[in-house]
Structure 1
Amino acid sequence: MTAYTKPIFYKSLNVAIIAAMMGCLVWNIVGIVLSAIAIVIPAKAILSKKPE
């Protein structure tokens, strides 16, 4: 690698790492939302079925 291509390589590597981290963050948020829905829906069903 020449001195000219090295900074470009490192810059693209940083971008790839940031993109991967953002991707993980997005999937974590999706996972949290889905698990929250999975908890809330049954809880709402149980609460709405409570005897009068």
Structure 2
Amino acid sequence: MLDAIADGTFGLMKRPADAGRGLDGVAVKSDLYYNPASEALDAPREAAR
């Protein structure tokens, strides 16, 4: 997966595994920020039967 990201397989920006930007440029969310999809995505999933 990291090789594919480094090669730019998933987008136009290539990013080597050892040269990421970390959290630089990431926006901070307000305390009032709400995304209803986050609850569904963060909820534990039931085991497949």
TM-score of the two chains, using structure 1 as the length reference? 0.22
Which has the higher Rg, Structure 1 or Structure 2? 1
Bigger fraction of residues in helix: 1
